[in-house]
């Protein structure tokens, strides 16, 4: 007959494993901006649309970045996430 050995994990062991994994998850995330989407996902285009352009958007970060879209963008560009500057 076969002896089945059961292994029990204590709460302490589980917490230590979870705490050890947290830094690894943070490292694997890489340097990408949190929440930044690829330009194709937001229909980004390098030209204005209906008088709306990136440098008039609340998410625009001068000279050529965006809080919501990854990579370089044109100040005269436009995407679906455009929000008028306050």
Output the domain CATH number for residue 45. 4.10.490.10
Query: pLDDT digit of tens for each residue in the chain (86 aa)?
Result: 566 666 777 888 888 888 887 776 555 544 445 568 999 999 999 999 999 999 999 999 999 999 999 999 999 999 999 999 98
Residue 41 within any structural domain of the chain: yes
In total, how many domains does the chain have? 1
Indicate the pTM of the whole model.
Answer: 0.59
**Whole-number Å distance between alpha carbons of 69 and 61:** 11
Report if residue 64 sits inside a domain: yes
Strand ranges for the chain from DSSP E: 60-61, 65-66
3-state SS class at 33: coil
The per-residue pLDDT for 14 is 80
In a domain, 75, yes or no: yes
């Amino acid at each position: 007959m076969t002896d089945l050995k059961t292994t029990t994990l204590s709460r302490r062991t589980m917490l230590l494993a979870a705490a050890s994994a947290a830094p690894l998850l943070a490292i694997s995330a890489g340097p990408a901006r949190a929440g930044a989407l690829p330009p194709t996902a937001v229909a980004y285009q390098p030209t204005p649309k209906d008088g709306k352009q990136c440098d008039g958007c609340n998410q625009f970060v001068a000279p050529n970045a965006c809080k919501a879209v990854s990579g370089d963008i044109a100040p005269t560009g436009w995407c679906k996430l455009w929000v008028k500057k306050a």
